[in-house]
Structure 1
Amino acid sequence: MRTKHSTLAGSIVGILSLGLLTGCGGPGEIRDPTPIATEFTELRIGISFDQPGLGVATEAGEEGGVVIGTDPKGFDVDTALYIAKALGVAPDDVTWVKADPVDREILLEDGEVDMVLSTYTITDERAERVDFAGPYFVAHQDLLIRRNDEELTGPDRLHGRTLCAAANTTSADNVLGQYRGDIALVQPDTFSDCVERLVAGDVDAVTTDDVILAGFAALPEYRGVLRVIGEGFSDEPYGVAVPKGSPELVDLINQALQSYIDDGSWEASLKINVGESGYKLPDPPSPGD
């Protein structure tokens, strides 16, 4: 159901809430929820295409001015699929749209997507333009460095360094707010671009959420090359963003997220997607709080 032609929030009217019951599945598996809505037939969901462990997809061309992806994988993808199934939408009826940090609000405001799950931190400023369900995860901003860098041991050693963070992210805002004048900050459109610059020696560190950095550090090509410092210096609550003025949809998504956590699917997805990186899983959040 594409918001460009019909508002997703508006279609909530008349939805039959069925109560969220989990389907069959053994321990450590991502389970299927029983749908809590009957009015949804399809969804367009914005995700990152280049964040290992969180959101990765293969670009498959453009549709209506946005990039469409196939074969999506990652924790954000698993979370999005669980929500879609809870809303009564089959996986084959989900269209995956590339949502780089610079484009997330625009995609929702222009009606190109129905929701965005792309390591999207809930902030008051963003909540003026979109509505958020969640949080469904709380990350902590950290630093990814070259493994042989023994001088950069934490954020207190950033003076004079060149950092990289994707534009229009809380990661960029945080370091500019805390270290303006002490660091140089490079801001390309994506974190994958930042990681490439780090490996090439063009920047000293990449800064963003620890779980995102863990995903990159776990890639075969970066094992033994990059490492996460492990000194988080912020809280980053991830939310599911939907068009502004969608309170009923927010409530439904929060129901789905609570079931996702309660039936073990949340933990199972994280272990599948980032467990091998050595990243220590945090406690689950409380959606709607």
Structure 2
Amino acid sequence: MKLRNTPAAVAAVALLALTATACGGGSDSGSNGDKITVGIKFDQPGLGLKTPDGKYVGFDVDVARYVAKELGYTEDKINFKQAPSAERENLIKNGDVKFIVASYSINDKRKKEVDFAGPYFLAHQDLLVRADDTSITKVEDLNSKKLCSVTGSTSAQNVRDKLAPDADLQQLGGYSECLTGLQNKRVDALTTDDSILAGYASQKEHQGKFKLAGLRMSDENYGIGLKKGDDELRGKINKALEKMVSDGTWEKLVKEHFGPSGYKYEPAPKVQG
């Protein structure tokens, strides 16, 4: 049937469009019918990495898959979206994602904008050094060393401002650049969360070349970020995280993604109610 361009026809088209939108699950929910969009990192080995062949791998990625499955979404119904650190709150508030699993440390500032389920992992700021380096055993040893981190990193500032003010801080564009500098002896240490450092050290091409200093310079409780006030979803995700720990999946995933680095990880933290 061909609709004529009449007021009645225009109204009918508008009604159909409105009905279709309502049936689609809403554009601000991070889900579309039987699919769900989840935010992860694309550039963090061991945690969240998009490989050259388009696959998504890492501890956070597998946590996201487990949680989504418990929410009723099979793997083929998950759409992964890149969630850079500076954009995470906006992605959640704008409804671009349903939740975010991306080395997302819970803190009071972020809790003003979004809610968190979890925590599901306890990381610490640490140092990555060359495997044969015995000169750095405590933070103070950095006072005569070249320390590398990414531009604007709070981890690097923490060391320089509070722990080792005389460290020669080198700020580069990415952790991969710092790692190359560490391997070539242009810098002496790389600092950020130990989970991120372990991810790099666990990569096949890096195994045996680096080690974590084990200094634990901060506590970073990773949580799953979601829209503020969505208590129902938060409760469901917390139950999924508790199940992941109790059925042994959490331990299995930690060993799989971080084990090759020799990383001494913390036990699974208690999920907050």
Q: TM-score range by the shorter chain?
A: 0.7 to 0.9
- 240, 254, 258: which one aligns with 2:238: 254
Change (3 A) 1:205 1:72: same
Q: 1:134 aligns to what?
A: 118
Change (3 A) 1:206 1:106: farther
Distance 1:145 1:204 in 2: 6
Name the structure with the higher helix share: 2
Q: Which amino acid aligns with 1:56?
A: L
Larger Rg: 2
Query: 2:202–2:257: 8 Å Cα contact kept in structure 1?
Result: no
Query: 1:53–1:215: 8 Å Cα contact kept in structure 2?
Result: yes
1:1-289 map, 5 Å: 5-7=27-29, 41-58=34-51, 70-166=54-150, 171-172=155-156, 174-179=158-163, 181-188=165-172, 190-288=174-272
User: 1:217: how far off?
Assistant: 1.4
Change (3 A) 1:176 1:95: farther
For residues 106-162 of structure 1, the C-alpha deviation after alignment (integer angstroms, 9 at most, x for no partner) is: 333343322211111111112222211110011121100123433222212121433
Structure 1: unaligned runs, 5 residues or longer: 12-38, 61-69
What secondary structure sits across from 2:51 in the alignment?
strand
Distance 1:6 1:210 in 2: 34
Query: 1:146–1:199: 8 Å Cα contact kept in structure 2?
Result: yes
Q: Which amino acid aligns with 1:75?
A: F
User: 1:84: how far off?
Assistant: 0.4
User: 1:180: how far off?
Assistant: 7.2
What secondary structure sits across from 1:163 in the alignment?
strand
Change (3 A) 1:276 1:148: closer
For residues 175-232 of structure 1, the C-alpha deviation after alignment (integer angstroms, 9 at most, x for no partner) is: 3552474334445564334323333444332112222212211223223322211222
Deviates further, 89-98 or 174-183: 174-183
TM-score by length of 1: 0.75
Change (3 A) 1:225 1:275: closer
Query: 1:166–1:191: 8 Å Cα contact kept in structure 2?
Result: yes
Equivalenced residue count is 250
Query: 2:140–2:164: 8 Å Cα contact kept in structure 1?
Result: no
Query: 1:50–1:192: 8 Å Cα contact kept in structure 2?
Result: no
Change (3 A) 1:86 1:224: closer
Query: 1:102–1:167: 8 Å Cα contact kept in structure 2?
Result: no
TM-score by length of 2: 0.79
Deviates further, 217-226 or 88-97: 217-226
Instruction: Give identity over the alignment, percent.
Output: 41
